């Protein structure tokens, strides 16, 4: 499916939504004619996103959810954030799509068609939490450069695919292997074919985890275009940028992968804590691996007005990168006292966990409900912003919603 | 008599020549001064000129309430230079979201020149930096801001 086909196949449906009425004689529209209503593409119909999603950037597309849109246990496509570094691939023909495994540390370079991948290796399905490393960036002070994500750059979908390690084992890799790096079909913003918008990866230990997949399905269907159709690497619990979209090549490296956005300050934080606003040398920046413990109250939406004496049932999700969440609490007195929430076990490793609680308020007034998760190593979410870093990553400060009791 | 007439005629010729000479000198001087203060006039125009003109006329037409409608950028000196140099590869939305000091905006420009194929901005660099550092400067916001509620709503019992 190339982008034009994708556009035209979805055009009539999208137009119906966008224009608010079926397009009479739509089937007679000449090929290549761009309907007026689509000349300024509407991302909501183009990517089938909820109208309440927030568009941060349109070239490249960066769209985030709001907390209350993430209430489902398994995130549906319409509430998934989009973080693109380049332009969408333009000509996707799944019959021609191949994945090449190469690099210094493979015994012999090998290329698979999509069909070969699907038929030769065993399929696995996992719910996996993917959070953008820059989720929460907008709160850092002094501000950090980049898309100013609020709190909606996280999702937990059900991914189906094959284990990366099964493929690597068949290809054969040597003992010098250190890292894998992905390469993909997206296009650099400058349209320079010699540049890759992003080419990140993970160390061999992460590449060899059971849950690290080469996925071709999301929530039981083909992966949506914006999320990596037809093939996406999924490395749950790590910065979502490690889960490369539209991948066509994986290099097994004998060094830490040095592709675009692996070096400099990208997806790195100071190895040692620094004061806010400090200048940090590139060599003092370390690659982010597991994401920190975090949670979101996804019900109710911030701004609820209750009657005096009315109970408030809250619920949401908590996750902790490579670890499990062992405790979930809430506070209605700005962190002075905490009460326990009911917390479910994860469906599988690296899936987010669901929590709920029934909250009572002692008297009328303005309240904030704060949520705090603690991971299996005893580390909790901070109430204020965690350590400042030049690029504004890893903000896991507790989520807060406002409530009035009248 | 004839000699006298001839002499007057010669004086007139010299006078006219001097007058033309002065006019030409004055004109040349004016041109030199003009080019001195506007060196752009003799620079080879980049191919982007056509787009520039198109964009420029657009800008004046679509500015409403100090915000440029098509891009969302603040209307102020330097807007045209920002649009022409900064929105070819990426959207204006990434500018609008960010707040940086002049020094950090310059670092972003250098980064784009080193890694993203951004061209040399020449004299526009200062105009662009003035615009960004004035209208998209950081604001002190402390370690955690107050919650902003977009909309208060009544949550019925049992909902």
What tens digit of pLDDT does each residue of B23-36 get? 776 777 777 766 66
Percent of chain A with pLDDT over 70: 90
In a mutational test of the B interface, the residue from A63, A147, A304, A398 whose CB has the highest number of chain B CBs within 10 Å is A304
Mean pLDDT of chain A: 92
Residue of A nearest to B72 (CA): A57
Mean pLDDT of chain B: 81
Three-point CA angle A384, A386, A387, nearest 5°? 135
A162 secondary structure, DSSP code: E
Residue the block writes with tokens 């669901």: A354
Residue of B nearest to A66 (CA): B150
Q: Could you tell me the pLDDT band of residue B112, with boundaries at 50, 70 and 90?
A: very high
Q: Give residue B62's pLDDT.
A: 55
In a mutational test of the A interface, the residue from B83, B88, B91, B105 whose CB has the highest number of chain A CBs within 10 Å is B91
In a mutational test of the A interface, the residue from B149, B150, B151, B157 whose CB has the highest number of chain A CBs within 10 Å is B149
What is the Cα–Cα distance from A156 to B138, expressed in whole angstroms? 33
Q: Give residue A41's pLDDT.
A: 77
* Both tokens assigned to A227: 């999320």
Output A393 or B3, whichever has higher pLDDT.
A393
Chain B nearest CA to A371, separation (Å): 14
Q: Give residue B51's pLDDT.
A: 36
* ipTM of this complex: 0.85
Say yes or no for a CB contact (<8 Å) between B90 and A60.
yes
Q: Which residues of A touch B155 (CB under 8 A)?
A: 300, 304-306, 310, 312
Q: Could you tell me the pLDDT band of residue B18, with boundaries at 50, 70 and 90?
A: confident
- Which of A58, A145, A146 faces B93 most closely, judged by CB atoms? A58
Three-point CA angle A400, A404, A405, nearest 5°? 130
Give B90-102 pLDDT, tens digit per residue. Answer: 999 999 999 999 9
Average pLDDT on A353-379 reads 98
Partner B contacted by A148 (CB < 8 A): yes
Range picked from A2-11, A14-23, B15-24 for highest mean pLDDT: B15-24
Q: Give residue B2's pLDDT.
A: 61
Q: Which residues of A touch B150 (CB under 8 A)?
A: 302-303
Closest-CA residue to A241 (of A232, A231, A250):
A232
Percent of chain A with pLDDT over 90: 89
Residue of A nearest to B97 (CA): A148
Res B43 pLDDT > 70 = no
Residues 6+ apart with CB under 8 A from B133: B100, B101, B102, B105
What are the DSSP E strand ranges found in A264-324?
A: 268-270, 285-287, 294-299, 304-306, 312-319
- Note the Cα A33 to chain centre separation in Å: 34
The answer to which of A14-18, A165-169, A171-175 has the lowest mean pLDDT is A14-18
Chain A nearest CA to B109, separation (Å): 12
Res B5 pLDDT > 90 = no
Q: Give residue B40's pLDDT.
A: 53
A303 secondary structure, DSSP code: -
pTM of the model: 0.81
Closest-CA residue to A388 (of B142, B94, B112, B106):
B142
């Amino acid at each position: 499916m190339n982008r034009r086909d994708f556009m035209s196949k979805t055009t009539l449906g999208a137009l119906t939504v966008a224009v608010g009425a079926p397009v009479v004689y739509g089937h007679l529209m000449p090929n290549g004619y761009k309907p007026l209503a689509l000349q300024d593409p509407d991302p909501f119909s183009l990517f089938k996103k909820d109208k309440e999603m927030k568009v941060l950037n349109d070239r490249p597309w960066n769209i985030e959810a709001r907390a209350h849109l993430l209430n489902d246990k398994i995130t549906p496509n319409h509430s998934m954030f989009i973080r693109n570094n380049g332009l969408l691939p333009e000509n996707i023909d799944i019959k021609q799509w191949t994945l090449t495994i190469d690099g210094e540390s493979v015994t012999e370079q090998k290329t698979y068609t999509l069909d070969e991948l699907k038929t030769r290796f065993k399929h696995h399905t996992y719910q996996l939490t993917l959070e953008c490393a820059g989720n929460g960036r907008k709160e850092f002070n002094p501000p950090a450069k980049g898309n100013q994500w609020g709190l909606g750059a996280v999702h937990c979908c059900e991914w189906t695919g094959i284990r990366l390690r099964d493929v690597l084992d068949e290809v054969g890799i040597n003992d010098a292997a250190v890292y894998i790096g992905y390469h993909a079909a997206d296009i650099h913003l400058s349209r320079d074919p010699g540049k890759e918008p992003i080419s990140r990866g993970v160390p061999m230990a992460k590449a060899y985890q059971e849950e690290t997949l080469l996925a071709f399905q999301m929530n039981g269907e083909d992966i949506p275009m914006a999320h990596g159709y037809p093939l996406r690497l999924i490395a749950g619990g790590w910065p979502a940028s490690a889960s490369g979209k539209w991948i066509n090549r994986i290099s097994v490296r004998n060094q830490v992968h040095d592709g675009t956005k692996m070096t400099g300050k990208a997806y790195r934080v100071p190895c040692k804590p620094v004061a806010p606003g400090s200048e940090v040398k590139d060599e003092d920046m370390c690659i982010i691996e597991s994401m920190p413990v975090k949670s979101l109250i996804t019900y109710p939406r911030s701004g609820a007005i209750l009657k005096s004496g009315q109970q408030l049932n809250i619920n949401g999700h908590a996750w902790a990168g490579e670890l499990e969440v062992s405790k979930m609490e809430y506070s209605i007195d700005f962190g002075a006292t905490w009460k326990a929430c009911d917390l479910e076990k994860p469906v599988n490793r690296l899936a987010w966990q669901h929590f709920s609680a029934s909250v009572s308020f002692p008297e009328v007034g303005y309240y904030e409900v704060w949520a705090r998760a603690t991971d299996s190593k005893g580390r909790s979410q901070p109430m204020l912003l965690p350590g400042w870093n030049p690029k504004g990553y890893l903000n896991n400060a507790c989520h807060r919603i406002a409530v009035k009791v009248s | 008599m004839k000699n006298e007439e001839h002499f007057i005629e010669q004086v007139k010729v010299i006078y006219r020549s001097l007058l033309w000479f002065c006019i030409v000198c004055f004109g040349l001087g004016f041109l030199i001064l003009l080019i001195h203060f506007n060196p752009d006039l003799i620079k080879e125009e980049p191919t982007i000129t056509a787009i520039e003109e198109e964009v420029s006329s657009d800008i004046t037409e679509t500015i409403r309430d100090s915000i440029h409608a098509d891009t969302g950028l603040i209307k102020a000196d330097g807007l045209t230079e920002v649009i022409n140099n900064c929105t070819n590869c990426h959207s204006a939305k990434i500018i609008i979201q960010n707040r940086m000091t002049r020094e950090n905006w310059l670092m972003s420009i250098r980064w784009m020149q080193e890694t993203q194929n951004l061209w040399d901005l020449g004299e526009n660099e200062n105009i662009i930096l003035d615009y960004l550092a004035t209208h998209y400067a950081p604001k002190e916001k402390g370690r955690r801001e107050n919650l902003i509620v977009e909309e208060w709503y009544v949550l019925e019992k049992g909902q």
